[in-house]
Amino acid sequence: MCGIVAYIGYREAAPLIIKGLKRLEYRGYDSAGIALLNDKGLNIYKKKGKVAELENELQHKEISANLGIGHTRWATHGEPNDINAHPHFSQSEHLAIIHNGIIENYAAIKTSLIQKGYTFESETDTEVLINFIEDVKKHKGCSTEEAVRLALSEVVGAYAIAVIDLEEPGQMIAARKGSPLVIGVGQNEYFFASDATPIIEYTKDVVYLDDHEIAVVKDGELAIKNLDNQEKGPFIQTVELELESIEKGGFEHFMLKEIYEQPKSIADCMRGRLNADTAHIQLGGLIHYIDKLATAKRIVFVACGTSWHAGLVGEYLFEELARINVEVEYASEFRYRNPIIEEGDFVIAISQSGETADTLAALELAKHKGATILGVCNVVGSSIARLTHAGVYTHAGPEIGVASTKAFTAQVSVLSMMAIATAKQKGTLTDEEYRSLLSEMASIPRKIEQILQLDEEIKDIAKLFTFASNFIFLGRGLNFPVALEGALKLKEISYIHAEGYPAAEMKHGPIALIDEDMPVVFIAIKDSSYEKVMSNIQEVKARKGRVIAIVNEGDETVRNMVDFAIEIPNSHEMVSTLLTCIPLQLLSYHIAVMRGRNVDQPRNLAKSVTVE
């Protein structure tokens, strides 16, 4: 949610920041703005809408500057409009700020500032924060850097901020708590951003700011301090991200590109970890925890959205293969009750970004209660990766489309490997079963390539359902979570109401919705629930529902029962979810495109939910 880009150095700041904001559009936003500091003063330009509208606003303006801060806002406090957009001035217009996150005690601070004579133009908590910093600076007689430190010591909530001061044109101040912030280190220049995508064109040397840390660039030097004013040496890392990976590469949308990248992203996920020829599997991040995991009495997955669906798949896998009791929790619910977590429990967070606010808070709670906490995430150096005892990166590469595709299959791939490795360690798999599963996992990239060849066929089916107003997705066992994921993909990007259900639950309510206008998608592969799913299909057809079925190659029985059948390669039931989800991604994508939706940036959604 929201995006920060800031620059201080020798380049022209405005075009660099605008380009960076476009790279962060995938995070979700409703307005954009930029503040530039030059010898003519400190100026702010901001507009409701897309970055392109801000870019138009800047035409014919004097925007030459070597220092600037830019922001894309996803509205929290105050509706999307020009006034509430960031950056925000302080009352004197000497300070300007951009801010991701939420200041929870802003109302009390605002009341105090109003009593001191401050007035506010916007409805945002961010304008309150910059005026609070200015008030501290005025009454303490201190520097802006010190005022930021003192103010942040009193605020409650989450933030990633960048602050510039008209009176100190060679300085940039940034800080974070709960919202990500990365600093790119160049030659006599520094870049600040919510993630590395706006930075990699210029440098691969980065510093990931930790919670409660303040970064100050002054006179070309970078210093990192904590809120107690203790200086820390910047820990510079090399980011492994290529510019081509964040460009469309000839595809119409990032989402379609990322669907097609899945054979490679899953292969990358397994590379060096799984070798079917030598019957070997090893996850480096779990080397010191695999014994403990194999003897765990309980595993709790915490996640949100698509990652929660991956956790549901993981539940089936760990319980079936490793015979360990598993619970899957919405992180947002887990953190607000008093969960029973005991020493010896494993709490595993699943998050594409590694920055999901609710998931991070759930981990903090579990860690406090004595659980071993692990992470499954995609972004190296993310907050979850730094907080957990250990974990496994998915190596899916950057996912720009808001609707997750390759991140989901990479998460399921990691959870599959974790479950197989744990079962092997525990002795709940025979050698034959173990080798068979490794062989099946190794075959997944090739089988997904086969499914992608059905794209035109799936597009033709999508044409017939472009104007549907409702969908139901049904599956059983391991493929019930895939039904949930298929429904989520469709509603996210096409805005069609869609529900996912266990197929057997249809008779307990959803069957009332079935008529000739109701499309029903069944996952009807030949697994342990095959016969039961065929009975569910008959129940829908008896009520004139229109059925799309995902079936195995050559399954004429189901094909003859349904309106449309999409055939996928045969596979072991335990890895089938990595195949059955692909046609549902393509179906949702094509329906959304035909409805004229903004597939990569669906309305109201953000890629990384870094606020509650």
Beta strands in 331-457 (DSSP E): 346-351, 372-377, 390-393
Q: Are strands 67-73 and 31-38 parallel, antiparallel or unpaired?
A: antiparallel
**Alpha-carbon distances, residue 565 vs 155, 266, 453 (angstroms):** 56, 26, 15
Q: What are the structure tokens assigned to 6, written together?
A: 């800031």
Rounded CA separation 80/570 (Å): 49
How many residues in total does the chain contain? 612
CATH 3.60.20.10 domain locations along the chain: 3-244
Domain 248-452 in CATH 3.40.50.10490: yes
Which amino acid appears at position 437 of this protein? L
210 and 355 Cβ atoms separated by less than 8 Å:
no
Rounded CA separation 531/524 (Å): 9
Which amino acid appears at position 128 of this protein? V
Q: What integer pLDDT is reported at residue 611 of this predicted model?
A: 53
Q: What integer pLDDT is reported at residue 386 of this predicted model?
A: 84
Q: What is the mean pLDDT of each run of 10 residues along the chain (612 residues)?
A: 90 94 83 93 93 91 93 85 93 95 92 95 94 95 95 92 94 91 94 90 91 92 90 81 68 93 95 94 91 94 94 97 95 86 90 85 87 90 86 89 93 97 95 96 97 97 94 94 97 95 83 85 91 88 90 93 95 96 98 94 72 54
Tell which residue, 421, 443, 412, 450, has the closest CA to residue 277. Answer: 443
Each residue's pLDDT tens digit, 370-387: 899 999 998 877 888 888
Rounded CA separation 215/586 (Å): 43
Q: What integer pLDDT is reported at residue 246 of this predicted model?
A: 65
Topology given in CATH for the domain delimited by 454-612:
Rossmann fold (3.40.50)
Q: What integer pLDDT is reported at residue 84 of this predicted model?
A: 92
Q: What integer pLDDT is reported at residue 320 of this predicted model?
A: 96
Q: Give, rounded to a whole angstrom, the gap between the first and last alpha carbons of the chain.
A: 11
The architecture that CATH gives domain 3-244 is 4-Layer Sandwich (3.60)
Tell which residue, 128, 136, 28, 48, has the closest CA to residue 88. Answer: 128
SS3 of residue 25 by DSSP: helix
CATH 3.40.50.10490 domain locations along the chain: 248-452, 454-612
With both helix axes pointing from N to C terminus, report the angle between 262-270 and 431-452 in degrees, rounded to the nearest 10: 160
Q: Supply the residues annotated as catalytic.
A: 2, 607
DSSP state letters, 39-93: TTEEEEEEEES-HHHHHHHHTTS----SEEEEEEE--SSS-SSTTTSSPEE-TTS
127 and 196 Cβ atoms separated by less than 8 Å:
no
Please indicate, yes or no, whether the overall pTM of this predicted structure exceeds 0.95: no
Residues 6+ apart with CB under 8 A from 73: 2, 29, 30, 31, 32, 33, 80, 84, 85, 86
Q: What integer pLDDT is reported at residue 544 of this predicted model?
A: 85
Q: Are strands 519-523 and 325-330 parallel, antiparallel or unpaired?
A: unpaired
